[in-house]
Structure formats: C-alpha cells, structure tokens
Structure 1
Amino acid sequence: MTTFGKPIVGAVLAVLLSCGASNLALAQARPELGQVRIPYETFTLPNGLTTLVYTDHTVPTIFVGVWYKVGSKDEPVGKTGFAHLFEHLMFQPTVNRPTEYFPPLEAVGATGINGSTTADYTNYFQTVPANALDRALWMEADRMGHLTDGMTQALLDEQRAVVKNEKRQNELGPGRSAEAQFLKGYYPAGHPYGHTTIGSMEDIDAATLEDVKAWFDAHYGASNAVLVLSGDIDVQTAREKTAFYFGGVRQGEPISRPDRWTPSFADIRRDIVYENLPAAVISRTWPLNNGSPRDNTMLQLAAKAMARGRGTPLHDALVENLKIADGVSAGVSESQLTSAFNLSVALKPGVTPEAANAAIDRELAKFFQTGPDRDRLEEIVTASDISLLQTMESSAAIGAWLASGAVTHDDPVYFLKQREWIGDVDAKAVTQLIQAALSRPYYELVQLPTPVPAAAPTGLADPTRMPDPSPADAAIAFPSVSEAVLANGLKIVVAHRPNLPIVSASLQFSTGSLAEDAYGRGTASRAFAMLTSGTRRYDAEQLKRQATRAGVNIAAAAQARESAVMWTMLSSRLDDGFSFASEVVRHPTYPQAEIDKALERVGPQFDAYERNPLQSAGPVYGRAIWGEDHPLGRIGTREDANAISRDEIQAFHDREIGPNNATLYLVGDITIDQAKALAQAHFGDWRRVTPTPVKERGAATATPGRIILVDAPGAAQTSLTVGELTTAFDADQAAAGDLADGILGAAFNSRLNMNLREEKGWTYGFTGGVADTPVGPRTFTASGTVETDRTADAMREVRREIADYVADRPATLEELERARTARMRALPSAFAGNAAFLSAITGAAAYGQPYDRAATSGARLAAVSLDQVQAVSRTTYDPTRLTWVVVGDLSRIEAPVRALNFGPVEVWDIYGHKVR
C-alpha cells in the first residue's frame, strides 16, 4: 500500500475535467540536475470517465491502464477478498469476447498485461503497439461494460480456485501470521483496512454469482474509473477513440465511503506472534493523519535518514556498534484513509526483545534531539532525482504515476509536487516533525521464532467483433555500435543513445566460478560481491556516500563463465562515474571486518534455509540434474560459507580481474571518443593479468529419469520442478526453439499453464522453458507449486503434455502464429531503455553473435515454419529423461508419487544427501 488521499472537491473538479483542462506539470529540480517536465492533458466523458493523456513518440507503443476507485477497503463484512477476486474475473471471457483477456492482446504484441489490487484501488494495464490501440480500448471498454453479461458459475468456480491457490502459495512463506495479527491489533474494529486484500477462504467460498454481479454493478461504472493513455498518441486521437469506445459504457452510481479514519492509542499496545524465522523481529507503527501530505513526505525523508543502511544513526548504533540487530528499516506507508510511520528491527539470534527495545528507545531519543544529518538529506534528494530520471525512460511508468496520483491524491502529478517539497527540505523542520510524530503512543508487533521441535525418535511406527490491428512494425531502432581497444587490452564497446542524460555500463570479465578451482569454493562470487566493501581510499560507508554524490548506482556479480560490474551514471558526471568504478574495480581491499560481518550472517541465513524446505527446490534440482561432483550440482553448506578467506578473495581479484580479460560496454548518452578518453584516464594504467582459463563445464554425472523427494512436513502446497539437459545452443534454431518454448511452457497461455492453472485450478502458475548457455548442453526446466493432494495428478499431466507435444499432439499452426505474432509485436516495447540494449549487446557477444543481433529478431521469427518448430521440439524435449524434484509433505504425497512409476524414487534432505 503506497498511496493516500485528501478529500475531493467534487464540483470544482468535475467542471475542470469536463472542460478538458490542459496541464503542463513542471517541477523545479535541484540546480545541478535541471528540470523535469511531464506534459499531460485530462478530459472527462459525459458518463464520468476521466482520461489522462501523456504524449511521447520515442517508442511506437502506448501504455493503456484503467484505475478503478475500489479496493479491499470497500468490502463489507462477509465479502472480504471481492476486489481481488474481481481482479481475476476481469481477465475472463465476456459476452462479446469468447476468449480470455490475454490471447487477443498477446496476438498483437502487447506486453505487461496485468492487474493489481490494493486496499484503495484496483488497476488493469498493458502496453500495446500503437497500431493495436483500438483493440486494447475495445477490450477495456468491453469488460468495463459487459463483463458479467456472459459470466457463468463455471468461470466463477475456476477463478475462485485460482485465488485460493494464490492465497495458499502466499501463506507458504514466513510473515503471514504477523500480517494478520497486525491488521487485527493495529486497526480498530470495523476499520476498512482491518483485513487482508486477498480476503478469507470462507468469504471467497461463499461468493455467489449474484454477489459477483452486484459487486460489478456497484463499483465498475465509468464514473468510478480513470483511464490513462501514455506513449505514442496525441490528445485529439485520444479524445476521439475514448469517446468512441467508452462513450456508451454505463455511468454507475456514486459510492459512499469513509474519507479519513486514523487509528489512535492511549498507550503503547504490544502483540506477540510466532513465525518461522531464525530470530526475533520488532516492528513499531505510529499512526499518521493525512491532513498534511507535505508533512508525511518530509517524514519519509526522515525515515530514510534515520534507518537506511550504513551511515544512518539507528543502523550504525544497533547493527554496527551494539551488534544486536542484523538490519533496521524505516518508512512511511501512505493510504487514502490514514498513513503510518513504520520502524522494523531484525534482531540477531539470541537477542531478547526486551534488551533490544531499551536500546531502540535510547537511540530514538538521541535522534529526536539531533534530527537527520543535513548531508544525508541532500544525498537522499539527489538519489531520488537520479531514480526519477532513470524511470522516466518508460512511458508505462509515467502513465502509472499519473493514474495513481489522480485516483489517490486528486492530482496526476502529485509525485512532482513531492519532488518540489523534498527539494526544499529543511533539516530543522524535519526534526520537529519527527519529534511530534514519534512521541505519541504506537503499536508494536514482536515476531518470535517458532520453537524448533526436538528430533523425532527413531525406530517408531510410520504415521461481438474485435478490432483488427493495422500492420505492425516489429523493427527495433538499434543504436550504432562502435569499438576501441586500450593498449593494456581493455576492449570498449559503445552504443550511442542520447535519449536521456544517463549512461548504463557493464564491465564484463571472462571469469567466474568455473575458474576458481585454485581458490576456495565461492571465492569468485565473494570477490565480486564485496568489491564495494572497501577500497584503498574509502571504507564501505564512504563508498556508499561517494556513489550517491557521484550519481552512480553500482552492482557486481559472478556467474559460471562470465562476471560483471555494472553501473549507471549521469552523462553530466561521466568523469565521476568512471573514477568511482575504477576505484571499486581496481583497488578493493576486502577488509577483514567486512568479511567478519558476512560470517556473522551465515548462521541466520542457513537457519532460515533449514526452516523452510521449499527453498531447497532450486539447489536440489541443480544437483539432481548435474550430479553431486559437478560444479553446477554443488549445494552450499555452512562449512563452505564459513570458509571465507580474505587472502583467497584478494588473490582471485589480483590474478583473474584485469583489463586484458575484460570488455567495457556502454549504452546511453556517450560517444566512443568520450568513452575511450575516459577509459584511458581511469583504466589506462591498469596492469595486465594472466587469468585462469575458464574450464568447460564437463558432462553431467547425474542419472536422468529419477524422482527426488524432499520432505516439508505440513506444507500447504507442493513445489514441483521438472526438467532435463537438452541440446546445445544453435543460433540458426534459436527462433524456432523460442517459439516452441512459448507454446509448451514459457507463456501464460502455454499448454502447461493453461492445463494446470486454468483448466484444473491446481496451481497459481506453472511455467517453464529452456535456459540458454553459450557452451554445452542447455537445461529445460518447468516449475510451480500445486495443491498437495493434486501432486501426483499434476505430475501426470505435466508428463503427458510434454509427451504429447513431441508425438501425438505437436504444435499447431494456430499456436505457432499466436506465439509468433505476440513475440514480434512485443519486440519494440522490449527495447525502451538503455538496460535492454546493454543486455542484448552483452548477450550477443557472449554467444559469438553480432552486437545488433536483436535488430533482426523480427525477421528470424517471421521465417520460422511449423515444421521447424515441431522438429526442434522433438530434439529439445524428451519425456523419458525427465528428472523431478518434489518438495512437500511426504506423509501425504510420497505414496501417490511412487505409484506413478515414472522412474527410480529417492528421498533426499535439503542439502542433496540421499536419505533413503
């Protein structure tokens, strides 16, 4: 929940909207970053539908979203979960559209088709090629006006089952008991926010077809909705098309609802709940009144300055100095009826809540006196501006901001108003605000670890017409790519995209876990992950603050064959960005103190892993596919994690990471000449290295065709993972393989997902596909969680679908065209930002392909024949060699799984050791 609102001045607002008020939202940024402009227009149809239009012709796509002013807060007693249930029903067929919502849009290349439900609103959205706008508008207007006309009991029962599976899946993880207790303890009886968005099983089961239709009639009228069109569209076209498609939709009745209701406490209230956690968590919540949105925005700044990582007072005191906590976070959650200031402290194992609370109280008292650090506030404001610029590459993000602002604040550009407020922040005023807000009584929820039961003794007994789109343009405007090489061997690749004043960079190294035999296990991962733990000039906290000042976001990761350091920077501060990256990459010191902190986290991390067996599905699957002795079959242990050696990490860095083993890729507002000059200045004197050759992965040693069972006592659902090693990557067959994957398991409307989710209602989702790799066999994997009592049935259906796909029921021409059309028409929207082009270029290089290979994706997809899809399917998927990893309650699923006779059955523990 991230929104709150103020009373709507109904009459005045209605006049402005009906007249089609034109707006140019302009926020004065901090001087060094310039201004941000969001031009938009708004108008209202006679039936009350408000429309927001933002024009950006950069990419030929349009974000289409409808925000309905109804959320879980509008649900009466006995009907909890209706708003969320309706989110699912809105994707079902209507009297005018016999198919589900996804296929017609996917067929025209739509992406990001989804919906969400909050306490305050429900929204539905998609991004479509500009030529397919009519179809998207027709479909949104159709479900707004006619959804329940064709609704049947069967459709209701189907989606009811899907929602219940979603609820069960959500409840698999820790924290659900705490959420329920918080809602019960924090909100007074009868408060609209006093129940979960997904609702109760009892209310969902009790929902009748008549109830659902009545809910639709009451809440889904045009006057209770906001339509947003953001992207390649002009206002006049938007007016004409909106009136044409939505003009006949019913207006709906006004909805009476609470406008403001802030909880209050005469004294501190404290509740205790037990959760499946390795250590206790203390959460405090102070109610905030929505009377001053500016004050709440300032409190959000105060929260970040108070407890947002190293260098903030509460983090440094509780985590770094007193060492009683593993993490501290604070923030303001904003909603329409009320808002709240939240403080959460995750304690170290063995620390009692009583001892921690005394320390928390002392540190809060200190903060009330001193207030936030001025430099810290300045850094937060700068970081917010940088984040805003990066996000503004997406018209979809801007459209979502506009709609959310209109619905929750009566102001589409409310986010720019907040930007003005924080740009004019005053540390003294913020101190006064937080003193007043956090000096009042609060609600505290203490989560304690569920006691671990003693080990069981051994030796006991066993217990109407849809618009067709105009011809689509699947072309990708790929930037030109230039290369250069420094004398020390560092290769530079630049794709010039001056759309926005930002640059994305990736320094790729030909090294990784397959080159660490001479070092300890996990050394490569640690060497890259800890680059920002300290350098010759800065410690970890100084690095973090230096990055903020320089406008740099940096991350690093090691994989099997390739590793990378990635960062983004402002084009106005390229020298700062290169300087910072050079310091991090070339001169890390890997301080022993930081390694010791990492070692302190090992125990709690493995405690959490051992408490939640469902987390073992991925690691166990890797071992089952590749084998215990294979590098890709390793499962990390406490012993491995505790065997961190600073000397080995430093040695790996010094021997494996160097300019002659690297390529620097840059995409954005930078030229090859600039890049070469900057690289020479900051990396030109970098010494060459003699890296360890990356060895081949080697053949798998595991036996295919087995079923591996892992016990998760009491699990509400079963985790199913199934797959096999398959053919090596073939560039000539990649397009056909991609489409074959989509038909079988990689898309929402794939055979596997439609069977298990839509037809059977056994899962919230079951998808899969082939994971490509440049060298050696690839891996086909499909996975999902299913109802426990349907475990064996689901396995039978998955195997049947795969077997049919390569034999009796191969891909059809209709499936191929649906998959092909969806992929081709979605191509332009997949390349809206620098990160997408950077990923495409580095990926092409890793596979030995031209940098601009993505530019010809449409042509390759268009050339794929049905025979090719069927042929590649037969060589990719083999139902006789499938390996299964099944994690669930073995007391309920083991016997039915064994009865399938799919192959040898073994029971393993979560570390991949055979139990029986």
Structure 2
Amino acid sequence: MSVFRPAVLAVALATAMSAGAYAPQAQAATAPVVDIAYESFTLPNGLRVIVHTDRKAPIVAVNVWYHVGSKDEPAGRSGFAHLFEHLMFNGSENNPGEFFGPFKQVGATNQNGTTNSDRTNYFENVPTTALDMALWMESDRMGHLLGAIDQKTLDEQRGVVQNEKRQGQNQPYGQVWDVLGKAMYPKGHPYNHSTIGSMNDLNAASLEDVKTWFKTWYGPNNAVLVLAGDIDLATAKAKVTQYFGDIPAGPTMAQPKVDVAAHTSDSRGEMTDNVPQSRIYRMWNVAEYGQPDLDRLQVFAQVLGGGKSSRLDRRLVHQDKLVDNVGASAFGSQLGSNFMITAAVKQGVDVAKVEAAIDEELQKLLKDGPTADELARARTSIQAGWIRGVERIGGFGGKADALAECAVYTGDPGCFRDSLKTLGDATAASVRGTGNTWLGAGKGSYTLVVNPGKRVDIPEEPAVTPAPFKLPAVDAKYKTTASTVDRKAGVPVTASFPDLKFPSLQRATLKNGTKVVLAERHDIPVVQMSYEFRGGQAADPAAKLGTASFAMGLLDEGAGDLDALAFADRAESLGANLGASASLDSSSAYLSSLKQNLEPSVALYADMLRKPRFDQAEIDRVKGQWIAGIKQEKANPGGIIQRVVPGLVYGADHPYGAPRTGSGTEASIAGLTRADLVAYHGGALRPQDATLVVVGDTTLGEIVPVLEKHFGDWKATGNAAAVSKVPAVAAQTKPRVFLIDQPGAVQANIVAAQLAPSSMDPAAVAFDMANMVIGGDFTARLNMNLREDKHWSYGARSGAGNSVGPRMWTASAPVQIDKTAESVAEIKREIADFASGKQGASAEEVSGMQKILTLSLPGAYETAASVMGTIGSNLLYGRPDDYVFKRKAEIEAMTPAQVDAAAKALDPNALTWVVVGDLSKTEQVVRALNLGEVTILDADGKPVAKK
C-alpha cells in the first residue's frame, strides 16, 4: 500500500522516461506503435468497465480506480484519502479480517493499492479460475464496507500510516515533497499539502469522517474497473453485473477545476538535512494531464535531461564535472503537472555554479529547440519504453493501469493513443514552442536546495475542524440491478487452478564455446538477452572491493569506436537498453532490443562486451560518482545495513563479508586502476565458460546467426579468474548487539541476522518455507505482529536471498523510535517461539504459504524478464530445466513437522542484532534488554571509541 506525490500519471510516456536509453545510430527503424485493444460498457449504477483480452497467461488483472485523492480532502483532514486506502484492506462486512487472505489462498500476484493527489486504486492479478473470488471481494468492499470498520481498525491503520510517513521522512532528502507542495501551490489549492498528510490531521480523523468519505466517494459511479488478460467482453459483462450491479450509486461529486497555478516569477528556498551532498530541485507548474503540451514536455525533458546522452548530462556530468547525476522529467496530474530538474552537486562544488549551468542549457534548448537527431532519439526511446511497459497486463504501470488512468482523467480509455500521436507528430519547432510556453520568459520556477547539515523537522500546523458537509443526493438516473449473489455464503471458493507452464528451452553452442539458451516469447516485439558469467562480487580481492561491480558498470561507458556519449546516443537511437552488473556469485550483461533493430543492437552489445574502452577520463568521472553513491548509502539506514551487516555475520575477511551493495569502499574504489579493470575484463568475461540466455520475439534459427556474426570469434584475452569454493563460516555461539547512530532519526531500523543453508543445499526449500511462516509474506508472523497488531512499523519481514555459499538470513523492521526496545523484544520472542517449537507452524499457516508459493506460479512468468531470471538462477545453482516444477512439488508435499524441523536452524541465542537510529534514544533501552554484548559502530562498521 503506497502513496505517491506527485502523481506519475502519463504512463505511456513516463514509463519510457524511466526505461532509460542506450542504442546505435545506424539507420534504425522507428519503433512500431503497440496498441492496447479494449472494449467497454457501463452498468446502470454508473460503474464504467473496460475489458482487454490477452491470453498469454491464465491470469486476469483486476484494477479498480476511484476518482478521489488527496486533492479532495477538506482542510484539517490531510492524508485522509491514503488512510482510507489502508482501511479498505481490513476486510468488509461479509469477509471480516485481512483483505489479503482469500487472495493469498489463490496465488494472487501484483496486489496492492496506491493513493496520489487525484485518485485511489486497488489492483491484483489472479488466476483465471479465481476471477469470481476477486470480483466478489472488490464488490464487497465497494458495497459493504462500513459495518466492518470500527475504532480499533481506524486506530490500527492510523498508526501504520504514521509509520509510513516516518519511514519516508527518515530517508535522506525525505522532507522535500512537503516543502515543494507548499512552495508550488498557494494555500487552499488542492495540491498544497502532501498525500501522506500531517500527523496532526491523521490524529484528528474520526470514525464519522471514515463513513462520510466512503459514502461520498466510493460509489460505483465514481469508479472505473479494468479487467485485462484471460477474459472476454461477454464473460466480463456477466460477472461484473452479477457482483457489482446491485451496489447503489453515490452522489455525483464535482471535480476541482483545473488550476495549474503557474508562477510568474522565480523563487527559491533552502534547507539542511543529514545528507552527504547538496541536491538541487527546480520545478515549474505546467499543463495538466491529457494535454498535448504535457506530451511535448516529456520530449523536451528527454532531450534536456532524460538520459545519459541528454544535454544536462553532457554539460554537467561529462564536460564540467559539476554533478554526480542530473535529470529532467515531467510528472502529469489532473489539475496541473510539474516539470522538474534535479541535480546531485559534487562535494566541494559551488551550488550557484551548477544552477547557472543548468539554466544556460535550459535557455539554449528554449532558444534553438532540439536538433533533428535529438528529436528522433527521444521519440524512439519513449516509444520503446511504451512497448516494454505494456508487456504486463497488471501491476504498476501495466496495461490495466494505462486504460484506467485514461478513463478516469479524460473519459477516453484510449487517450494514450493521442499521446503517442502527439509524440509521432512532434517537431523541433513544436517542442521548442511548448517549452517556451511553460518554461520560458514569464513562467517562474521554484528552486529548493538541500544542503548537508542538521536535519530540522518541518513544524506542522494544528489540525482544524473541517467545514460542515452535507452529502448530496444521488442522481436519479442511476439504477441497480438484481443480483443472485448470496453475500452471507461468503467468498466464492476457487475449486481448480491453471497448470504451471514454463517455456520450453532450446539450445545451441556458438563457435566461441558460449552456450545459448532460448525461450521464445512473441507477445511484444522485443528480444532480451543476458550473457551470464561465473564469478561476481565475492571474487573481489580484499584490497579492491567493488572491482567486479565497478568494471561491469563501466562496460557501457564507451566501447569500440564510440566514446561514452556516442555510445549512449547510439543506444538511444535504437531504443535499446543495455548494461552490465555483478551480483554476489556471478556477473551478467544484458540487452533489451526492439525486434526491428535486433541486428544493430546486438552489434552494439557485442562491442560493449568485447571492446570496452575503459577510457581514463571515464574511469575518473565514474569513480567520483561511485564514491558519492557510497556516501549516499552511508546516509541511508537501509544502505548502512546492507554495507555493515554482512561483515558482522560472515567476518570482514570472508568473500561474502563485503558490503552487499557491491560498491566497495571509498578507498578501494579510489585505488582502482585501468589495469585492474582490463585484467578483470579479460579474466572474468570468458565466453567459453559462459551462457547467453535469450528470451523474446525470435527463434533459434533467426538469433543464432546474428550471435555467431558478432560473438562467434570472441575469445578471452586473460587468464581465467579463479572461482574458489566459498569457505565455511564459524557458527555464532552467542548473541551480539551493534548500534549505529543516525542523529535525528524518527525511526529505528532493526535487523536480526544469522546464517542459513546455501541455495544449493537440499535443505534450502524447507528453510524457505519456515521463513515464509515467520516473515516471508505480508501475512507472516512478524508483519502481523509489528504492523497489524502493534502498528509500530510500516512493515516487518524476513528473508535469506540466494547465494552459492551459506546465505545470510535477516529479520528486519523499521519502527517508530520510541518502540525500539519493545520491537526488538517482539522480534526475538517470535523467532524463539518458532525455533523452539513452542509455537510451531500450524497446518493453516503451512497450507497458506504453500498456496502463496505455488498457486502464484502460473502468473509469475508473465514477463520475459521473469523467465530470464529463473533460467539464470537455474544455471548458477546447477538446477535442471524443470526445477520450477520440482520445487513446486517439494513445497506442496511439505508438512508442518518438516517446516518446524527447518525452523530449528534459526537460533535466537546466536543472532547478530543491528539497530540504526538516534543513539540518544536507542542505546539505553536496547542495553536494558540484556540481549548480549553491545558495541557501537560507525557507518563503515568500525567500532566507535567511547568518549
């Protein structure tokens, strides 16, 4: 359950902006337009229903959008729309209890809810056979909610939301959005306050407010329901009418008028935070969602700062070396949108100099407009992002989201077609003109600079009493239809489930010895591939931590005849995404290519792998960015945990003891030489020992000749890097406690860690089942305790990840800081009761987790990326092609006794505890627990001498 502000609503384009850009300049074909075909109907009660058929997987995406968000909150009740979203997950009159329960029993995937300024949505993917259950559940909370909400539930979710707010505030730069909302919009404007709201207003919300909100906004006539996937119009009409037709309409509420609130002059503000470097935010208010101007501003943003070859990147990152990163984007919203430029200023650089350079580049683009080449590259990149985004039927930004968004904001479910047409018709002159209309002379911006310093809480205004509100009458045109659904009979039982299907794999071997594994997927015109190599971060020399990740990250910073910027230009012109990375035990290089640009994209991919330039200038530049990234990790509680905990659990000298981020240390990165990187490339990227996984719109007969042409004669240039067996780790014999100071923190981040069986160990699956019971799912014990029962945390979880050697299991929870000791005690108790058998796994728990892990599988391989990831894991861990079926069978056969036996691997008396928070509020209360010896560490994991 999430909150967004500002809303990123232009799915067709915003997805593309985040999709990145890498590609060749040759005569690349223009990306094809990929449509989302749909049909629609409206029930007599006003519910608009949109249907899209996609039979590639036996699942249906159910997506309900209510046209209400934080813009509709009365004064004194900020945050209420989002609070109500949480209440919608606490059961309904005919299904009391957690809303997630029935969905977990059928293997639902991509289930969540989100709120932004303009709308609230709820969505899930379910097996086709469970569609009746999903529609019953969604209709029951639409038509039968209020009887299930009481003061206890309201107080519980109020606490959860307040911890979600604390969790956001506790991040570096976490208070920025509160400041920007107030600066960009005048008091009284619907966008002046944040979607998460104020603590005072959340505390003031009453049960009467809940009832009024539901009656006002949650009628079927204020909702859009999208069904996408294994469904057709006739089936949708029958089922939706059956479950939703008898729900009475609510009042017809007027939407606020469009009010862009454009500024007429520039203004600025500054604030300090516990951050390692200054960050600049410059924002304009621009055209609302659905306007062609917003689409053209997306193009303007792409050219200005949307990718590695954008103007701001060229100037500030490559040429002047003033920033570690910079970007520009346009965020669409209903009443008015935002255009934003952000920049992370290099330490020691004058912020004013950066601001001046940004403005210079902006003014040049406003004066001259984009070049023909820039416009073509931006168009291809955005179109390619759209194609990749609509591979998914549901979830964040999938096809169901695109249809619902368009229907809610424009009344036309296919409004994305208008955006794509605007994109196709865009000219340099029209992009330039639109830029000047909204960002040019007389259109003021607001600049916020966040500087390193003391974190200062933003004072909240006291809650006020909302103005009296009388519920309007319902429009007489809305009617209900009779239903045969017996609500008292409970949730429909799903009696059968679709079979798990995993693509059949085809194989070949290239002349260079590389094995090729292909899984065909022809639903979108995209081909993805990943070259998988042995060895990863764990093979880094102790004195050169981060070598693998740094070297792999540099592969796309220039290759062959192309320097870093030319490489980025080439990639963007092809609409190709490519890059490389290292994980703990392996390294890989990926390519996502449009089908029509496959040959030139593979050519660029081959240059990246075979001929990386490792130019010294790029090494020096990326080193600066990399070290800045390490500093950012050390300013973030989650980053600190990733960096410090592995060394405590494995030992600093163990290959797995390095920071789990793979980023190394400031000293190790600073010491890397070009010779180190060349040696790594020659020794680690050995094609004769590698496998190339290909998934997508191609055949073996088509792809192998292309791969042979570009890789067939590739031979390793260096000696094979030794891939040694991961050494054993001495068992921890007593608990230890480590405290790390985060001054001013409003939360404490708690971690309990120990070793677990390797991913290759026969006991791994049983241990994973035990983990599911304790903390591997929303409905697991830790989360139900700390979030749902105590509401001290926004979420508590546990997991062991995957590795060739012994895994690191962690239980973690960010909690409100005044509940640090109590939360640690609860986590320890839950682990101890489970491991000792005092509270062993119940048959109900095991059955529930079995269903979550197995019934979700038919929908788990909806995307090519998920298929490619599973194939890669099977290769790394020596698993057979049918491992997904074998693992499913093992899970289905598991008994509570077997889960309890696996739980004994958890040792509450040998845990490594790490607590990151304000030491003045955590140290004494944690010491009083007498968990074990307490040591205070810094963000590098080094002991801090007592003062």
Report SS of the residue matched to 2:775: helix
Match of 2:749 in 1: 719
| Alpha-carbon offset, residue 692 of structure 1 | 2.0
Following TM superposition, by how much is the alpha carbon of 1:307 offset from its aligned partner in structure 2, in angstroms?
1.9
TM-superposed deviation, 1:740: 2.1
The aligned counterpart of 1:451 is 453
Greater Cα offset, 129-138 or 379-388: 379-388
Q: Which runs of 5+ in 2 are unaligned?
A: 1-5, 11-27, 456-487
Write the distance in 1 (CA, Å) between the matches of 2:344 and 2:549.
25
Deviates more, 1:101-110 or 1:594-603: 594-603
- The counterpart of 1:220, out of the listed 204, 215, 218, is 218
Aligned mates of 1:95, 1:291 — CA distance in 2: 37
Tell me the SS of whatever aligns to 2:97: coil
Partners of 2:273 and 2:453 within 8 A in 1: no
Contact 2:262 2:286 in 1 (8 A): no
1:891 to 2:920 alignment: yes
Q: Which moved more, 1:187-196 or 1:347-356?
A: 347-356
1:397-446 deviations in Å (ceiling 9; x for gaps): 11111001111122212112101110121111211221232222313223
Q: 2:320 — aligned with what? A: 322
Question: Any idea what SS the aligned residue of 1:467 has?
Answer: coil
Preserved contact between residue 61 and residue 393 of structure 2 (Cα < 8 Å): yes
Quick check: 2:540–2:547 contact (8 Å CA) kept in 1? Answer: yes
> Residues 520 and 644 of structure 1 are in contact (CA less than 8 Å); yes or no, is this contact kept in structure 2?
yes
Change (3 A) 1:283 1:732: closer
Offset of residue 539 of structure 1: 0.6
Moved more, 237-246 or 820-829: 820-829
Alpha-carbon distance, 1:828 to partner = 0.7
Match of 1:792, SS? helix
Code of the aligned partner of 2:421: E
**Quick check: 1:844 aligned with 2:870?**
no
Determine whether 1:255 maps to 2:253.
Answer: yes
SS in 2 for 1:37: coil
Q: Secondary structure at the match of 2:502?
A: coil
The match for 1:869 among 892, 899, 920 is 899
Are residue 414 (structure 1) and residue 384 (structure 2) matched?
no
Please give the TM-score of this superposition, normalised by the length of structure 1: 0.92
8 Å Cα contact 1:261/1:337 also seen in 2 = yes
1:659 is matched with 687
Shift, 1:317, TM fit: 2.6
Please name the residue that 1:738 is paired with: 768
In the TM superposition, 1:16-95 aligns within 5 A as 32-95=30-93
Match of 2:37, SS state, is strand
Q: Which amino acid aligns with 2:160?
A: V
Q: CA deviation at 1:726?
A: 2.3
Identity, % of aligned positions: 38
Question: Which of the residues 168, 171, 174 maps onto 2:169?
Answer: 171
Change (3 A) 1:124 1:783: same
Partner of 2:840: 810
**Which position in structure 1 is the counterpart of 2:641?**
617
1:129 to 102, 127, 130: 127
Which amino acid is 1:444 matched to?
Y
Moved more, 128-137 or 384-393: 384-393
Write the distance in 2 (CA, Å) between the matches of 1:292 and 1:160. 34
Alignment CA distance shift 1:691-1:715 (3 Å) = same
User: Which of 849, 855, 859 pairs up with 1:825?
Assistant: 855
- Structure with larger RCO (C-alpha < 8 A, sep 6+): 2
2:777 maps to 1:753: no
Counterpart code for 1:794: S
Instruction: State the match for 1:343 in structure 2.
Output: 341
Partner of 2:15: none
The 8 Å contact of residues 561 and 694 in structure 1, kept in 2 or not, is answered as: no
Q: Does the residue aligned with 1:531 lie in a helix, a strand or coil?
A: coil
Going from structure 1 to structure 2, the CA distance change for 1:614 and 1:243 (only over 3 Å counts) comes to closer
1:197 equivalent to 2:158? Answer no
3-state SS of 1:631 partner: coil
Determine the structure 2 residue equivalent to 1:913. 942
CA shift at 1:666, angstroms? Answer: 1.1
Structure 1: any 5+ residue segments left out of the alignment? 6-29, 454-463
The letter for the 1-side match of 2:668 is D
For residue 143 of structure 1, report the CA deviation from its aligned partner.
0.7
In the TM superposition, 1:486-505 aligns within 5 A as 486-505=510-529
* 1:646 alignment counterpart: 674
Partner Cα separation in structure 2 for residue 192 and residue 452 of structure 1: 31
Counterpart selection for 1:138 from 133, 136, 139: 136
Separation of aligned partners in 2, 1:755 and 1:843: 33
Deviation of 1:355 (Å): 3.4
Aligned length: 880
Match of 1:507 among 528, 531, 555: 531
Residue identity opposite 1:843 in structure 2? S
1:712-759: CA deviation from partner (whole Å, max 9, x where unpaired):
222111011112112334565444333322111100000111011111
Contact 1:908 1:915 survives alignment (8 Å)? yes
Change (3 A) 1:694 1:101: same
Query: Offset at 1:702?
Result: 7.9
Q: Compare 412-421 and 847-856 and name the one that shifted more.
A: 847-856
Identify the residue that residue 474 of structure 2 maps to in structure 1. none
Letter in 1 for 2:161: V
> Matches of 1:311 and 1:763 in 2, distance apart?
41
In the alignment, the residues of structure 1 paired with residue 771 and residue 730 of structure 2 have an alpha-carbon distance, to the nearest angstrom, of: 26
Q: Is 1:549 equivalent to 2:573 in the alignment?
A: yes
Check whether the contact 2:547–2:669 (CA below 8 A) recurs between aligned residues: no
Instruction: Report the Cα distance in structure 1 between the residues aligned to 2:520 and 2:866, rounded to whole angstroms.
Output: 13
Is residue 483–residue 493 contact of structure 1 (8 Å, CA) maintained in 2?
yes
Q: How does 1:108-507 map to 2 (within 5 A)?
A: 108-290=106-288, 293-396=291-394, 397-438=398-439, 439-451=441-453, 464-507=488-531
Query: Is this contact kept in 1: 2:277–2:452, CA < 8 A?
Result: no
Aligned to 2:721: 692
Distance 1:420 1:266, change over 3 A: closer
> 1:521-600 residue pairs with structure 2 within 5 A?
521-600=545-624
Cα distance between partner residues in 2 of 1:138 and 1:452: 51
Structure 1 Cα separation of the partners of residues 301 and 139 of structure 2: 42
* Cα distance change on mapping 1:888 and 1:137 into 2, 3 Å: same
> Contact conserved, 2:563 with 2:613, CA < 8 A, in 1?
no
Range moving further from structure 2, 313-322 or 776-785: 313-322
Residue identity opposite 1:650 in structure 2: V
Q: Aligned in 2, Cα 1:837/1:220: closer, same or farther, shift over 3 Å?
A: same
Over 3 Å counting, the alpha-carbon distance change for 1:743 and 1:606 in structure 2 is closer
Partner of 1:771: helix, strand, or coil?
Answer: coil
Cα RMSD, aligned residues only = 2.2
Q: For 1:608 and 1:550, how far apart are their aligned partners in 2?
A: 33
Shift of the alpha carbon at 1:857?
Answer: 4.1
Distance 1:516 1:281, change over 3 A: closer
Q: Distance in 2 between matches of 1:877 and 1:518?
A: 30
Measured in 1, the distance between the counterparts of 2:544 and 2:616 equals 16
The answer as to whether partners of 2:278 and 2:452 remain within 8 angstroms in 1 is no
**TM-score normalized by structure 2?**
0.89
Cα offset for 1:511? 2.1
1:35 Cα deviation (Å)? 4.2
**TM-superposed deviation, 1:856:** 4.1
Aligned residue for 2:821? 792
Residues 138 and 466 of structure 1 are in contact (CA less than 8 Å); yes or no, is this contact kept in structure 2? no
Contact 1:379 1:549 in 2 (8 A): yes
- 1:791 and 1:2, CA in 2 relative to 1: closer, same or farther beyond 3 A? closer
After TM superposition, the structure 1 = structure 2 runs for residues 668-687 of structure 1, keeping only pairs within 5 Å, are: 668-687=696-715
Deviation at 1:778, TM superposition (A): 2.1
